[in-house]
Amino acid sequence: MAFPEPDNDDHNGTTNNGESYVTMRKLTAAFAFASMCAFASAAHAENYEIDGQHAWVTFTIKHGIYGTAHGQFDAVKGAIVMDKADPSKSSVKAELDVGSVHTAYDQRDNDLKGPDFFNAAEFPAISFESTKVEKVSDKAGKVTGNLTISGVSKEITLDVTLVNEAPAPWDATLTKAAFTATGKVSTADFPMAKAAAGFGLGPDVDIVIDLEAVKK
């Protein structure tokens, strides 16, 4: 804070109240402007929670010379921060329950949960946390982040599209956003590499994510 110099001629060393008043008004105005800017910046960021009942994380992987195996994770949770004014400030954190992996064949599901593949007993969750979000168009972007499987983290990039964002038809106070994302991972990057190769799987895995999220 600035303090005016004493005016010895007019006030015998006392503070110039006029200058002090003007200075305080300037400081107050500057503080108010800074606060408004900070509020406006924060207002651009919207927080969403992934709706686990409307989330599908599916994957496909080549099964040797025979064809393609399909699967999905039934339990998904996470949070999305969407900043439309500055997409680079957006972020995603998500988690899959390894125990929810489903391939329509119980023995295969048990193998995937076992120690040779996802090792659900020791690592019950697969996680993804974004490190960079890049805008491609008004409704499309690239989300780069760390995918952690069985304790090993690898960087992947997902192509993400905002399908829609609107109030729910049954409740105008509830806003939902729908996203779809695609990407690739390799079994060779994770501890399951040897087991996957032994079963003639992969190594490339194609991922498709369709989910809805609820605005908080």
Lowest mean pLDDT among 16-20, 51-55, 74-78, 90-94: 16-20
Q: What is the pLDDT of residue 44?
A: 77
> Residue holding tokens 């994302």?
181
- Size of the chain, expressed as the number of residues it contains: 216
- Mean pLDDT along residues 73-78: 98
Closest C-alpha to 88, from 128, 144, 31: 144
Taking the C-alpha atoms of residue 108 and residue 126, their distance in angstroms, rounded to an integer, is 18
Taking the C-alpha atoms of residue 165 and residue 184, their distance in angstroms, rounded to an integer, is 26
Closest C-alpha to 96, from 115, 112, 116: 112
Q: What is the pTM of this model?
A: 0.79
The chain-wide mean pLDDT, for the chain, equals: 88
Residue 41 three-state SS: helix
Residue 32 three-state SS: helix
Domain 45-215 class, CATH top level: mainly beta
Closest C-alpha to 57, from 191, 188, 182, 163: 182
Q: Is 200 left (phi over 0), alpha (psi -120 to 50) or beta?
A: left
pLDDT digits (tens, 9 = 90+) for 24-75: 565 555 554 544 444 444 457 999 999 999 999 999 999 988 899 999 999 9
Q: Is 210 exposed, middle or buried (0-12, 13-18, 19+ CB in 10 A)?
A: middle
